[in-house]
Each structure stands twice: as structure tokens, then as C-alpha cells.
Copies of this chain bind each other. A is one copy, B any other.
Amino acid sequence: MLTESLVREAYEYGKQFTGEGRVADYIPRLGQARRDEVGITVCAVDGQVFQAGDAEKRFSIQSISKVLNLIFALEKHGFDTVFHQTRMEPSGDPFNSMQKLSDNQEIPFNPMVNLGALAVTDLLIPYGFTTLKDYICSLCEDPGITMDEEIFESEWSHCDRNYSLAYLLKSKGVLKHDVTEVMRLYTQLCSLSVHTGDLAKLGALLASGGVRDGKECVREETVRTVLTIMFTCGLYDGSGEFAVRVGLPGKSGVGGGILAVSPHKMGIGVYSPSLDEKGNSLPGQQMIAYLARREKLHLFE
């Protein structure tokens, strides 16, 4: 049974792994995180919340924003428009790969790799950053989510690879808007500061089929689609292994956060910037795996 002490056990378990990973440093500002920081929040669908460690320490959302962008795009534009911009196939390639697109494909493999996320961001341009940020605050029930200017500046001056991806998409006709506008919005959304409570709240909303307090906040089809893609593509080229070993939809970011969802049960937010070689938080994965094992959360249990 989900209890305060179980969550604390998960935290203690995960904390052991901080020494084995390393902090992302390809964006200088991210490199300043302390790899021994570890936090966790679990929100049950019944509203109970359990936390341990640096649960409310803010960190950079990074790629977890891809989930929020996808939700927003699906809600505003619908399934067909979104999947005209990107496929929904796991790619087996690293997050910043351009290989498949540079060859024969006309649209990206899925919305969780950078190419696909940029293609989705193109649909968000008419709404603008503030609308998106407010939407995210409301989904996470946290008005305190803001863009970290330092992170944004640091990323903005180290985004040549993403620019290369964006221009490739432009040359294929996938991006309809100005490349710099798409890049700016994409990078702004990656630079949001969240804490594990935000992720857990969002996770609980998805775990509840998009319903909160009896009200549909996110359409059921959107929830289903997003959770499936998180399950098959959410942890970069470690997605398959996380699916087999843990068995929950998840989405990681190089800021150290992971969002995981146990349908009908709970949302989980974890944080530790100590990353494995694929860019996924090592203690974070271990905490989720611990909970999944103890609570038998694996989808195919």
C-alpha cells in the first residue's frame, strides 16, 4: 500500500545511486546542478501526496516539456493534425539524431525525439509562450512555474545542433513557421523550472484519464495517446529497457527529472541530476523501479 514510509524507502533506495551517474554538461548552466540532490513526490489519484528529499527543489524541466507540448497540441489541433507533423514510432536513435530524417523519411519518428518535438512546437506558435506556460501551470496546479532565464540563455547560446534539426525540418516543409520562432518557443519551454510535485500532479491527472475534481481537463484520447508514446519512447534510447524493467509510461529530461504514470493509481515525479549514459536520471529510475516493484505497478503484472 502506498504510504509515506514506502515513498521514503524508495527515496533512500534511489539515493544510493547518485554517485554512479553524471550531471549533464553540454549546456553549461545545467552542469552546475549538484548530483547528490534527490527528490520524489507521489500523488495518488485519490488526492493523497507523499514526498521525500528535495521534492520541492526546482530544476529545469528540459525534455519533459515535450509531453506538455504534445498534450497542448493534441488538445488544440487534434490527433490527425499532430500526426501529420510527426509519426508515433519509436526510433531506436539518440534524442538528437537526424539520421532517419536526413535519409528518406519526410516527417520525424515521434514527438519525444528533438526532431518530433520541434515539429510539434510548430503547431504551438500561434499560442505563444505565455499561453503555454499558463496552461502548464494549470495542469500542474502550480502558479509558480516560470522560465529560468539563466537556463534559457545558456541553452540559447548552445543550440546549434537543434538549429540544424529545425532547418532540416524547414527544408522538408514540416515547419510552417519561422525557424527562430520555433526554436525560441521550444527552448523557452525546455527552460521552465519545476519541482517533483508538479510532475506528480501532472502524472496523477493523466493517471485519472484527464479528469480532476470530476472535470475533464484533458480529453481521454489525448491521455491515451500521450501515455502510449511515453511508454514506447519516453526515455530516449533506454525506453525499451525501462518499459520491460519498470513497466510504466515515463518521460525523462536531462535536468534530472522523470515523470511516471501508473494508470488509475498515481502520478510520480522524481528528481536527481545524476544521469546515466543515455541522459536519464539514474536515482530517478531506481526510485520509480522500487515503487513499481513494491506496489506491483508494472503494466503487464
Chain B positions within 8 Å of A165 at CB level: 164
> Across the two chains, which residue of chain B brings its CB closest to A263?
B300
Chain B nearest Cβ from A95, distance in angstroms: 13
In whole angstroms, what is the CA distance A237 to B249 when docked? Answer: 20
Interface residues of A in 129-174 (CB under 8 A from B): 160-161, 163-168, 170-171
Number of interface residues of A (CB under 8 A): 52
Chain B positions within 8 Å of A179 at CB level: 160, 163
**Interface stretch (choices A34-42, A54-62, A220-228):** A220-228
A92 at the interface (CB under 8 A from B): yes
Chain B nearest Cβ from A248, distance in angstroms: 11
* Contact of A300 with B240 at beta-carbon distance under 8 Å, contacts A90-B92, A99-B102, A164-B167 already known: no
A contact patch SS = helix
Number of copies: 4
* Contact of A228 with B244 at beta-carbon distance under 8 Å, contacts A92-B109, A99-B102 already known: yes
| Residue contact A171 to B161, C-beta cutoff 8 Å | yes
Chain B positions within 8 Å of A231 at CB level: 231-232, 243, 300
* With A110-B240, A249-B300 already in contact, 6 other A-B pairs whose C-beta atoms are closer than 8 Å: A99-B102, A160-B179, A164-B165, A164-B168, A224-B301, A233-B240
What are 29 of the A-B contact pairs (CB < 8 Å)?
A89-B237, A89-B238, A92-B92, A92-B100, A92-B109, A98-B98, A98-B102, A98-B168, A102-B102, A103-B103, A110-B240, A160-B167, A160-B168, A161-B167, A164-B166, A164-B168, A164-B170, A167-B167, A209-B301, A220-B301, A223-B300, A224-B244, A228-B247, A229-B244, A231-B243, A232-B232, A232-B240, A249-B300, A299-B299
- The 4 closest A-B CB pairs, nearest first, are A90-B90, A164-B167, A160-B171, A89-B240
Residue ranges of A at the interface with B (Cβ–Cβ < 8 Å): 87-93, 97-100, 102-104, 109-110, 160-161, 163-168, 170-171, 179, 209, 220, 223-225, 227-229, 231-233, 237-241, 243-244, 247, 249, 263, 298-301
